[in-house]
Amino acid sequence: MLPNLKGKLTDWFQRGQIVRNLEVFQDIIIISLCISLFCVMVLRLVDLFIHFFQPLEVRQVTSDILFILILVELFRLLADYLQEHRISVGAAVEISIVSSLREVILKGVLEVKSEQLVGISLFLVVLGALFVILPWMSKLLESMIPTHINE
Protein backbone atom coordinates (compact mmCIF):
# COMPACT_ATOMS: atom_id res chain seq x y z
CA MET A 1 0.00 0.00 0.00
CA LEU A 2 2.84 2.40 0.78
CA PRO A 3 4.47 2.14 -2.70
CA ASN A 4 1.06 2.81 -4.28
CA LEU A 5 0.66 5.97 -2.16
CA LYS A 6 4.17 7.09 -3.07
CA GLY A 7 3.35 6.66 -6.77
CA LYS A 8 0.20 8.76 -6.42
CA LEU A 9 2.13 11.49 -4.59
CA THR A 10 4.80 11.64 -7.25
CA ASP A 11 2.10 11.81 -9.95
CA TRP A 12 0.42 14.66 -8.10
CA PHE A 13 3.69 16.57 -7.70
CA GLN A 14 4.62 16.42 -11.35
CA ARG A 15 4.73 19.85 -12.93
CA GLY A 16 1.95 19.23 -15.47
CA GLN A 17 -0.31 17.72 -12.85
CA ILE A 18 0.30 20.64 -10.47
CA VAL A 19 -0.68 23.11 -13.19
CA ARG A 20 -3.85 21.14 -13.99
CA ASN A 21 -4.77 20.98 -10.30
CA LEU A 22 -4.21 24.72 -9.88
CA GLU A 23 -6.35 25.40 -12.95
CA VAL A 24 -9.16 23.35 -11.39
CA PHE A 25 -8.92 25.40 -8.19
CA GLN A 26 -8.84 28.59 -10.25
CA ASP A 27 -11.96 27.46 -12.14
CA ILE A 28 -13.71 26.83 -8.83
CA ILE A 29 -12.86 30.38 -7.72
CA ILE A 30 -14.11 31.83 -11.02
CA ILE A 31 -17.35 29.82 -10.78
CA SER A 32 -17.94 31.08 -7.23
CA LEU A 33 -17.32 34.64 -8.46
CA CYS A 34 -19.84 34.10 -11.27
CA ILE A 35 -22.45 32.83 -8.83
CA SER A 36 -21.79 35.77 -6.49
CA LEU A 37 -22.05 38.26 -9.36
CA PHE A 38 -25.30 36.69 -10.49
CA CYS A 39 -26.75 36.97 -6.96
CA VAL A 40 -25.67 40.64 -6.73
CA MET A 41 -27.27 41.33 -10.13
CA VAL A 42 -30.55 39.79 -9.00
CA LEU A 43 -30.49 41.82 -5.76
CA ARG A 44 -29.77 45.05 -7.66
CA LEU A 45 -32.59 44.31 -10.12
CA VAL A 46 -35.01 43.79 -7.24
CA ASP A 47 -33.78 47.06 -5.72
CA LEU A 48 -34.24 48.80 -9.08
CA PHE A 49 -37.82 47.58 -9.38
CA ILE A 50 -38.53 48.76 -5.83
CA HIS A 51 -37.28 52.23 -6.85
CA PHE A 52 -39.91 52.33 -9.60
CA PHE A 53 -42.68 52.25 -6.98
CA GLN A 54 -41.23 55.26 -5.17
CA PRO A 55 -40.81 58.80 -6.49
CA LEU A 56 -38.43 58.55 -9.42
CA GLU A 57 -34.85 59.70 -8.84
CA VAL A 58 -33.27 59.79 -12.28
CA ARG A 59 -29.69 59.74 -11.00
CA GLN A 60 -30.30 56.74 -8.78
CA VAL A 61 -32.10 54.76 -11.48
CA THR A 62 -29.40 55.61 -14.04
CA SER A 63 -26.70 54.64 -11.57
CA ASP A 64 -28.41 51.32 -10.83
CA ILE A 65 -28.85 50.51 -14.52
CA LEU A 66 -25.21 51.31 -15.30
CA PHE A 67 -24.07 49.30 -12.28
CA ILE A 68 -26.08 46.29 -13.49
CA LEU A 69 -24.54 46.70 -16.94
CA ILE A 70 -21.08 46.70 -15.36
CA LEU A 71 -21.93 43.53 -13.46
CA VAL A 72 -23.22 41.89 -16.65
CA GLU A 73 -19.98 42.75 -18.43
CA LEU A 74 -17.93 41.38 -15.53
CA PHE A 75 -20.01 38.21 -15.62
CA ARG A 76 -19.37 37.93 -19.37
CA LEU A 77 -15.64 38.47 -18.79
CA LEU A 78 -15.55 35.69 -16.19
CA ALA A 79 -17.58 33.34 -18.41
CA ASP A 80 -15.19 33.96 -21.30
CA TYR A 81 -12.29 33.29 -18.95
CA LEU A 82 -13.82 29.96 -17.93
CA GLN A 83 -14.14 28.92 -21.58
CA GLU A 84 -10.82 30.13 -22.96
CA HIS A 85 -8.62 30.70 -19.87
CA ARG A 86 -7.75 34.13 -21.24
CA ILE A 87 -8.95 37.60 -20.31
CA SER A 88 -10.52 39.61 -23.10
CA VAL A 89 -8.79 42.99 -23.05
CA GLY A 90 -11.60 44.49 -25.12
CA ALA A 91 -14.21 43.49 -22.54
CA ALA A 92 -12.01 44.84 -19.72
CA VAL A 93 -11.70 48.16 -21.58
CA GLU A 94 -15.49 48.30 -22.06
CA ILE A 95 -16.01 47.71 -18.34
CA SER A 96 -13.52 50.46 -17.49
CA ILE A 97 -15.22 52.93 -19.82
CA VAL A 98 -18.69 52.23 -18.44
CA SER A 99 -17.40 52.37 -14.84
CA SER A 100 -15.74 55.74 -15.42
CA LEU A 101 -18.82 57.19 -17.07
CA ARG A 102 -21.01 55.83 -14.27
CA GLU A 103 -18.99 57.72 -11.69
CA VAL A 104 -19.25 60.98 -13.66
CA ILE A 105 -22.98 60.51 -14.20
CA LEU A 106 -23.50 59.60 -10.54
CA LYS A 107 -21.78 62.75 -9.26
CA GLY A 108 -22.90 64.98 -12.09
CA VAL A 109 -20.57 66.68 -14.54
CA LEU A 110 -21.05 70.07 -12.91
CA GLU A 111 -20.12 68.76 -9.44
CA VAL A 112 -16.86 67.07 -10.51
CA LYS A 113 -13.72 69.13 -10.00
CA SER A 114 -12.08 70.32 -13.20
CA GLU A 115 -8.85 68.41 -12.45
CA GLN A 116 -10.78 65.19 -11.99
CA LEU A 117 -12.74 65.84 -15.17
CA VAL A 118 -9.52 66.34 -17.14
CA GLY A 119 -8.07 63.15 -15.64
CA ILE A 120 -11.20 61.15 -16.43
CA SER A 121 -11.25 62.58 -19.95
CA LEU A 122 -7.63 61.58 -20.56
CA PHE A 123 -8.35 58.15 -19.11
CA LEU A 124 -11.32 57.75 -21.46
CA VAL A 125 -9.26 58.90 -24.46
CA VAL A 126 -6.59 56.30 -23.65
CA LEU A 127 -9.21 53.58 -23.19
CA GLY A 128 -10.90 54.60 -26.44
CA ALA A 129 -7.56 54.46 -28.25
CA LEU A 130 -6.92 51.01 -26.76
CA PHE A 131 -10.34 49.88 -27.89
CA VAL A 132 -9.69 51.08 -31.45
CA ILE A 133 -6.07 49.90 -31.68
CA LEU A 134 -6.63 46.50 -30.06
CA PRO A 135 -7.99 44.64 -33.14
CA TRP A 136 -5.22 46.06 -35.30
CA MET A 137 -2.56 45.04 -32.78
CA SER A 138 -3.92 41.48 -32.46
CA LYS A 139 -3.82 41.04 -36.26
CA LEU A 140 -0.26 42.40 -36.33
CA LEU A 141 0.85 40.04 -33.55
CA GLU A 142 -0.82 37.04 -35.20
CA SER A 143 1.01 37.77 -38.46
CA MET A 144 4.34 37.87 -36.59
CA ILE A 145 3.94 34.33 -35.14
CA PRO A 146 5.70 31.74 -37.30
CA THR A 147 3.34 29.19 -38.86
CA HIS A 148 5.21 26.16 -37.52
CA ILE A 149 4.36 27.18 -33.93
CA ASN A 150 0.62 27.21 -34.61
CA GLU A 151 0.65 23.68 -36.08
Per the CB < 8 A criterion, the answer to whether 51 and 17 are in contact is no
- The secondary structure of the chain, three-state, reads CHHHHHHHHHHHCCHHHHHHHHHHHHHHHHHHHHHHHHHHHHHHHHHHHHHHCCCCCHHHHHHHHHHHHHHHHHHHHHHHHHHHCCCCHHHHHHHHHHHHHHHHHHHCHHHCCHHHHHHHHHHHHHHHHHHHHHHHHHHHHHHHCCHHHHC
Residue 2 lies in a domain: no
Residue 3 lies in a domain: no
The range of the structural domain enclosing residue 100 comes to 14-150
Report, as an integer, the average pLDDT of 19-33.
Answer: 91
Q: Is the model's pLDDT at 114 over the cut of 80?
A: yes
Residue 133 lies in a domain: yes
Report, as an integer, the average pLDDT of 97-118.
Answer: 81
Residue 55 lies in a domain: yes
Cα distances from 126 to residues 10, 91, 111, 148, in angstroms, run 49, 15, 23, 35
Report, as an integer, the average pLDDT of 89-117.
Answer: 81
Report, as an integer, the average pLDDT of 123-146.
Answer: 82
Residue 92 lies in a domain: yes
| Triad 12, 1, 10: Cα angle to 5° | 20
Domains of the chain: total: 1
Residue 135 lies in a domain: yes
Report, as an integer, the average pLDDT of 70-92.
Answer: 87
Q: What is the pTM of this model?
A: 0.69
Burial class from Cβ neighbours inside 10 Å (0-12, 13-18, 19+) for residue 95 reads: buried
Structure confidence at residue 7 as a pLDDT band (50, 70, 90):
low
Residue 27 lies in a domain: yes
Q: Which of 12-16, 116-120, 125-129 has the lowest mean pLDDT?
A: 12-16
Residue 4 lies in a domain: no
